[in-house]
Structure 1
Amino acid sequence: MLNFDFYNPTQIMFGKGRIADLDKVIPADARVLVLYGGGSIKQNGVFDQVMSALGARSIIEFSGIEPNPSYETLMQAVDSAKKNKIEFLLAVGGGSVIDGTKFIAAAILFDGEDPWAILEKGGRNVTQALPFGSVLTLPATGSEMNSGGVVTRKSIKAKMAFSSRHCFPKFSILDPATTFTLPIRQVGNGAVDAYVHVMEQYMTYPVNSPVQDRFAEGLLTTLIEEGPKALASPEDYDVRANLMWCATMALNGVISTGVPQDWSTHMIGHELTALHGIDHAQTLAIVLPSMLRIRKESKRAKLLQYAERVWGLRDGSEDSRIDRAITMTQDFFEQMGVKTRLADYQLNAGNIPPILAALETHRMVSLGEKRDVTLDVSRQVLELSL
């Protein structure tokens, strides 16, 4: 096991009716900016629950944070927060709203440079952030219990990640009942997103980390079991609870302690979203199967472990077990309603060179746990994904 430093200060408040507990965790005299997306929270009752719990606090609303939140929109929220002398931020929504709120929290107090520098330097230049919490309505990204986020700048078609210890939510409320009315597409995307988050931390090479491996395999197995149930029975509370906690545990730092991490699938996926507007989880479903096939040799030991422990594949040659495990992974994504080929999104070989150019522009030229995913490897992955 590698050396590690684990830190996660986020308080999780999980279960039915927990939105009412907002009153206990936000200062009574705080000026609160409530941030959300397209307004679905006003249709499913979540907004009313939040407002009721906030009571007599001074509240300003900011809506319209997009899936893959844009820098342009988030800077409008920064301006609103400064103008209204906001003291606390509350994100109500999925990972995009929470990611955006993390950036806003840092940008409000960011002095000197253009706040875009936060993204350019990956958050390493963040020294403080306004306190914030979240009410999760879409389990997928794990943003409710980590310190990272991803922001898109539409004007230059760049999607950049950042992370800072100052950007952990103070608390996150997870009520599975808030997910009952999610569109099927978002349910499928959420399960795939969580699955690939686990794979980026697990599917590398062995470092004698059985605790982390077993945690990761348990999450993967649970997603495989519970994901289809969520599509079939949208209002099954227990199923939704399991999916929600899986997505949170997939990226809260527990399974990444002491192990190498990959993230090459995400970096290529970010360019697909920035250039073509493809949903984040859809890009992951496109890239991961081909990434595993192209890098089969460097990941052989963990692929064999994955094939046996997650998919129960013990018979046949090593290559046949690995190939079957990758195919079963791809089939699971398809079962969740997430297509896995570039052609499914009307992209072809002609779209590959601009993606590679974007990777080069953003210095994504040596990715992966061994830094051996060159532009040529990325090209092979994309070509195999056609």
Structure 2
Amino acid sequence: MRSVNPSRLTGPPMRLRLGATTLPMVGHVRMYVCGITPYDVTHLGHAATYIWADAAERVLRWHGHAVTVARNVTDVDDVLFAEARRRGESHTMLATLQRAAFEGTMATLQVRPPDFAPSAAQHIGHVIQLAAALLDQDAAYERNGAVYARTAHAAGQFGVGRGDALTLAAEYHDDPDDPDKDDPLDVIVWKACRPDDEVSWPSPWGDGRPGWHAECAAMVLALFGPSVDIHCGGGDLAFPHHASEAALAEAATGVTPFARSWMRAGVVTIDGVKMSKSRGDLVLVEDLLREHSPGAVRLLCLNRPWAADWAYEPSALDEAEATLEQLYAAAARPGMAPGAAAVPGALLDDLDVPRAVAMALEDGGQAARTLIELLALS
């Protein structure tokens, strides 16, 4: 847990607004960030999510709160295994190399390292405990060596209609056509081992491995207990991942809500469509950093509403670089204008970076210096 600045804990209670949720904070803040599946290089969509999570942490710390951050690594995943086979590498070696590259990119972008970096492979035992707890609560059932959770209700709780939920479940490989399911929207907690599986662990129900949603739920419960204050991730993870994760944790513990707030960064698009490896249109962070500063990449991601999807265009990065130079010039001006105190307040109001940038540019001096320091734009 990182240090606290007690001088900023005086005065009225701090309230952070994230979308429609206003969060009074008292002392310690628990933040969980959905991390990478380490099978490929970091693209701009990844970076935007982690830069926004980092910004939220920095705002909380600026106002005197101790923040504990966990950012997981999904190193038990069929996509990872398939990529390792394609490359002729072990999945553990591929995951290790890609994780190291990702962490190097995050360091260059001044994203603070998390307090905890759990991996799915390290928490197999906790997934087994989660499955057992769900079975004890009759919130899950066992079929042919697999454990399925009763999660059909989760879509409605997250505002997703059944038709859309079935489409998304298929898109995210939740296998709604699995004949062993009581309901197509039930999710797998423990996946039974197939004859050709190269990765499995023993369990009370037979050899197998965890389901994706269960991995995150188990890691949160193991690290933070039954709830977190802020749960971060990409905007495309609301359903089925976040909805299922919350449903699993709440059914196992009886504690609601699983997350006091959800912070899902908007999806980055190219020509109106989410970037994807299959379309070959990924914007790689390492390419951007060859020609632009880390501060410009951070500002490109931050100088917009955090929850809104946005389209990447190369000219936008040039504009971010120019705005950053204007902020540096404004910071060089002397003075202690009213904006110096208003900038952190603007960021408490739904992380309103555009408003904070406008204040910093107008007032200059300490206001601009505060913004640059707070958002790590130097």
Larger helix percent: 1
Flag whether TM exceeds 0.5 (same fold).
no
Normalising by the smaller structure, the TM-score range is: under 0.3
User: TM-score, normalized by length of structure 1?
Assistant: 0.24
Higher normalized contact order (CA 8 Å, seq sep 6+, divided by chain length):
2
Larger strand percent: 2
User: TM-score, normalized by length of structure 2?
Assistant: 0.25
